[in-house]
Amino acid sequence: MAQVKILGDAMIEYIYSAHSAFAYLGSAKLMAMCAQHDATLIHKPILLSPVVEAQGSQPFHARTQAHVDYFFSREIERWAQYRDVAVVNFRPTYHDADYRLASGMIIALGETGAATDAMAHAILQAHWRDDADLSDTGTLAAIAGALGHDPQDLLRQAASDAVQNQLRANSDWARTKDVFGSPTYIVDGDAFYGQDRLELVETALKTPFAPPDWTNPPVN
């Protein structure tokens, strides 16, 4: 795994799962924004379910039909149109497949850099535009090869203990940051959840928001 190389003063810690619809919808916008502002994007792929369930979020099958139809269909449709992003019009066929190897391909390329950016976008796009199975080694090899990598070498690295341990470490780290969804972007310690907050992230890259000064009563 490559060392983190900081391009400028601005950094975004990018926490997401490799099969996240909303990470995909914001992916091109995020990377264009980083290029425009000379910001370093630090990739933190995670295992989504253990992270969000640690914050009390319900698994997909436990949610109401109205909730699923709104957040996981209508919102996807509208944001795809708004961001001009091609997307399937159904929940991907293999959405519940194991995506640890796909995540490992991203991690193996390092936390930052053009190769990591391209791999993350390609994996998200393959799943949400092309209905790809992210657990299928042939599919992943084709993605790697199209990006100019040695597919078998990258798959070997992706499956290694070092890379898979890093995926678990990323997930553990995300829980310590109280992350409750994908994607989450952190700028100077300030977390922004959801690709619909990218305009706020862009503002924070230029001028940080005032520190939090809000008090809530306990929820329990």
pLDDT digits (tens, 9 = 90+) for 61-112: 888 999 999 999 999 999 999 999 999 999 999 999 999 999 999 999 999 9
| Separation CA 45–CA 28 (nearest Å) | 17
Rounded to two decimals, the pTM is 0.93
Q: Which residues contact 123 (CB under 8 A, 6 or more apart)?
A: 18, 102, 105, 106, 134, 140, 143
Q: What is the pLDDT at residue 2?
A: 42
User: At residue 7, does pLDDT exceed 70?
Assistant: no
C-alpha torsion sign, points 158, 25, 180, 54: negative
List pLDDT tens digits, range 9-37. 799 999 999 999 999 999 999 999 999 99
| Separation CA 72–CA 90 (nearest Å) | 9
| Separation CA 53–CA 59 (nearest Å) | 7
**CATH class of the domain at 11-206:** alpha beta
Q: Which residues contact 43 (CB under 8 A, 6 or more apart)?
A: 14, 106, 107, 111, 112, 116, 117, 120
| Separation CA 134–CA 101 (nearest Å) | 8
Q: Read off the amino acid at residue 129.
A: R
Going by C-alpha positions, the residue among 16, 98, 101, 103 that lies closest to residue 51 is 16
In the chain, the N- to C-terminal Cα span, in Å, equals: 42
Going by C-alpha positions, the residue among 23, 29, 32 that lies closest to residue 84 is 29
